[in-house]
Chains A and B, each alone.
Chain A
Amino acid sequence: MHEMSLCEGILQVLETESQKQGFDCVKNVWLEIGDLAGVETEALLFCFDAVTRDSLADRAKLNIIHTPGSAWCLKCAKNVSVKQRFDECPQCGSYQLQVTGGDEMRIKELEVE
């Protein structure tokens, strides 16, 4: 259900941009989704189809660019790579991590007409 809300957010952005940039049909959407953003790709694709039905993005294709997760470990005092949000440090096991990358949920680019 989280993915449904996200897709509504995407559609809002598309509707606003269609006015600003003068297009009325979206064919492709490129999203940047970090591995730590907590987004289920499958669910997102499914919801996107449902949410965009009969909209300007009806039948638009959603393309997802994954970005890897990284965090600053306070104990190791360095950047480490992490697979999931709230995981422990892969090097020392500490939970004292500050996410430094991979929590993006951004619309990067559109193909429109």
Chain B
Amino acid sequence: MCTVCGCGEGETKIEGEPRRHDHHHHHEHGHDYGEGPAHAHAPGMSQSRMVQIEQDILGKNNEYAMANRGYFLQKGMLTLNLVSSPGSGKTTLLTSTLNELKDEFPQVVIEGDQQTSNDAERIRETGVAAIQINTGKGCHLDAHQVGHAVDHLDAPDTSVLYIENVGNLVCPAAFDLGEAHKVAILSITEGEDKPLKYPDMFHAANLLLLSKIDLLPHLDFDVGKCIEYAQRINPGIKVIQLSGKTGEGMDSWYRWVRANRQIAMIDCPVAQSDGGA
């Protein structure tokens, strides 16, 4: 794939279409290095030199993330990056949330999956605009992909953007998308030691949703232990226990979303007339 920006001829697809190359590519593909006169090596005449660069490995992604963050700030948007293992209940949580809050404020969704646009379709059934990014072999969304998707979405000012990341507790921890918060979702079918096994993710998240709490009577999941582990990794992490099935705990989550949206709108010029619902 195109490793410069992960797009174009690569495997990333937005809404089933290969991502358009509307930006400039400075590199060419398939160079045959070491051939041709420019590379002829005269013995004893090395052309090599040292270059100091001192750059973060994820520096490029971080630049895109900062650009996204600036865009969200200026539009008074709240952006949440939902991260979890596959099947922990992200899409279920999202559809309930969209239905519950859609009369209060505008919401939009970016769905990240390796293949298929099933989740985006599930989201659109709620009447909320959603865009699907298929990452192909890529195991996480990156800030550049999200920037492209945001261009497509044209989200309203003061809206809430939910990004459902690819199901993976490892890589998404390292890739800032420009979100206000990472929200980790851990279903109680997964075992209470997940925070210790995937500490980076629980360190990066500001909120932990313990999902499928309706299944508690059928499992020997130790909620107290799980929270203790999560807070060992991240003493400030807030934990909400909820069930998308029974609705238990969902009110606390809605309150959290509303409150954080209010924070995103503080002193934002475009948010003045809105007043904030």
A113:B48 contact, CB within 8 angstroms: yes
- Which residues does chain A contribute within 8 Å of B57, judged by CB atoms? 6, 9-10, 13, 31, 105-107
- Which residues does chain B contribute within 8 Å of A1, judged by CB atoms? 139, 168, 170-171
Tell me the residues in window 35-67 of chain A with beta carbons closer than 8 Å to chain B beta carbons: 38, 51, 54-56, 58
B50:A56 contact, CB within 8 angstroms: no
Tell me the residues in window 41-100 of chain B with beta carbons closer than 8 Å to chain A beta carbons: 46-61
- Interface residue B15 (Cβ < 8 Å from any Cβ of A): no
**Chain B, Cβ-Cβ closest to A106:** B56
Instruction: Report Cα–Cα, A61/B33, bound state, in Å.
Output: 16
Total count of chain A residues near the partner, CB < 8 A: 41
Instruction: Report Cα–Cα, A108/B50, bound state, in Å.
Output: 11
A25:B55 contact, CB within 8 angstroms: no
Instruction: Report Cα–Cα, A16/B25, bound state, in Å.
Output: 10
A8:B3 contact, CB within 8 angstroms: yes
B3:A11 contact, CB within 8 angstroms: yes
By secondary structure, the A interface counts as: mixed
Q: Which residue of B31, B51, B58, B60 contacts A110 across the interface (Cβ within 8 Å)?
A: B51
A5:B50 contact, CB within 8 angstroms: no
B59:A110 contact, CB within 8 angstroms: no
Q: Which residue of A21, A38, A58, A107 contacts B33 across the interface (Cβ within 8 Å)?
A: A58
- Which residues does chain B contribute within 8 Å of A11, judged by CB atoms? 3
- Interface residue B180 (Cβ < 8 Å from any Cβ of A): no
Instruction: Report Cα–Cα, A31/B56, bound state, in Å.
Output: 10
A54:B30 contact, CB within 8 angstroms: yes
**Scoring B residues 15 to 35 as 1 if CB is less than 8 Å from chain A, else 0, what string do you get?**
000000000001100110110
Instruction: Report Cα–Cα, A6/B57, bound state, in Å.
Output: 7
**Chain A, Cβ-Cβ closest to B202:** A86
- Interface residue B4 (Cβ < 8 Å from any Cβ of A): yes
Instruction: Report Cα–Cα, A10/B170, bound state, in Å.
Output: 18
B199:A85 contact, CB within 8 angstroms: yes
A86 and B199 contact, Cβ closer than 8 Å, known pairs A8-B6, A15-B27: yes
Tell me the residues in window 212-237 of chain B with beta carbons closer than 8 Å to chain A beta carbons: 232-233, 235
Q: Which residue of B3, B30, B140, B199 contacts A51 across the interface (Cβ within 8 Å)?
A: B3
Give the one of A9, A27, A54, A55 with max B CB within 10 A. Answer: A9
- Which residues does chain B contribute within 8 Å of A21, judged by CB atoms? 51
Instruction: Report Cα–Cα, A80/B201, bound state, in Å.
Output: 24
Q: Which residue of B27, B50, B59 contacts A109 across the interface (Cβ within 8 Å)?
A: B50
- Interface residue B11 (Cβ < 8 Å from any Cβ of A): no
Distance from B29 Cβ to chain A, minimum over Cβ atoms (Å): 8
A13:B60 contact, CB within 8 angstroms: yes
- Interface residue B175 (Cβ < 8 Å from any Cβ of A): yes
- Which residues does chain B contribute within 8 Å of A95, judged by CB atoms? 232, 235
**Scoring A residues 20 to 38 as 1 if CB is less than 8 Å from chain B, else 0, what string do you get?**
0101110100010000001
- Which residues does chain B contribute within 8 Å of A23, judged by CB atoms? 49, 51
7 further A-B pairs in the complex, CB-CB below 8 A; given A9-B57, A16-B4, A21-B51: A8-B3, A16-B60, A51-B3, A86-B196, A86-B199, A96-B235, A113-B47
Task: List A residues at the B interface (Cβ < 8 Å).
Answer: 1-2, 4-6, 8-13, 15-19, 21, 23-25, 27, 31, 38, 51, 54-56, 58, 85-86, 95-96, 105-113
